Amino acid sequence: MPSSLTLESARRIGVIFKRELAGYFATPIAAVFLVIFLMLAGAFTFYLGNFFERDQADLLPFFTFHPWLYLVLIPALAMRLWAEERRGGTIELLFTLPVTPWEAVVGKFLAAWCFTGLALALTFPLWLTVNVLGEPDNGVILAGYLGSLLMAGGFMAIGSCVSAFTKNQVIAFVISVVVGLGFVLSGFPLVLDVFRGWMPHVVLDLISSFSFLTHFHDVSRGVIDLRDLVYFVSLIGVWLFATALILEWKKAE
């Protein structure tokens, strides 16, 4: 893990962050991603989530589908983080600059995560709608947004690591979806039932503890447990650290 963050290191991360974030809006990528995300989020909430039929003032139908939205959309966004740099040969130019691989990884990740946060923030009309229609617990809704943002960071960190490993964006996308699906399904009863009966209960708890759903489920209902926050932060840190190691390895080749 890198040493303590210095002011100069933070400045370099900030420069990369600004460059990458501006890059999203220099192409149609930003508009396409935002439109697709908002359309799918609305469709899942109002149609599949039966928002009006439930007759409850909450955003549970909205948050329920976030793991599945992120499972596809975030790998589509993350696949170009490093694969595009490697394919175009610009990664060599990046590392000729006075910046470490860790700083580049953090800067690019924060830009992508911030962009995802913008897409999430643009769903605020749903929050306004539920307040007009009833009297929801806004603290629970705020917790749901926090959990969703952290989960998005987890998916993004996985996608960043996979993207650093290959030049092919399609391969990066597919592998990221498969790995993300593993983190989602590890908490499903269907998966746990495969191991139930021949594995100790502590092993089942361990498998379940790796699931995004296990940790996001409680947070989206307003139960903010320090263990859930530590899980997402640790997950992001581990995958970003792995990304930096891969880039160091590729750089030495």
- Tens-digit pLDDT profile for residues 30-71: 889 999 999 999 888 888 877 777 777 788 888 989 999 999
Contact 36, 73 (CB under 8 A): yes
Q: Nearest 5°: phi and psi at 117? A: -65, -35
**What's the whole-number average pLDDT of the chain?**
84
Q: What's the pLDDT tens digit per position in 215-232? A: 888 888 778 888 889 999
CB 169 within 8 A of CB 79: yes
pLDDT digits (tens, 9 = 90+) for 85-136: 766 666 767 767 778 888 889 999 999 999 999 999 999 998 888 888 888 8
pLDDT > 80? residue 191:
no
> Which pTM value belongs to this model?
0.87
Buried/exposed 139-164: b ≥16 CB within 10 Å, e otherwise? ebbebbbbbbbbbbbbbbbbbbbbbb
The pLDDT value recorded for residue 145 is 94
Question: Up-side HSE of residue 60: CA atoms within 13 Å toward CB?
Answer: 14
Could you give the CA distance from residue 28 to residue 211 in angstroms, rounded to a whole number? 33
pLDDT at position 202 over 80: no
pLDDT at 110: 96
Distances (CA, A) of 162 to 90, 148, 234: 18, 21, 17
Buried b (16+ CB within 10 A) or exposed e, 110-136: bbbbebbbebbeebeebbeebeeeeeb
Q: Which helix (H) or strand (E) holds 182?
A: helix 169-185
Buried b (16+ CB within 10 A) or exposed e, 37-55: bbeebbebbbeebebeeee
Q: Is the CB of residue 120 less than 8 Å from the CB of residue 188?
A: no
pLDDT at 1 over 50: no
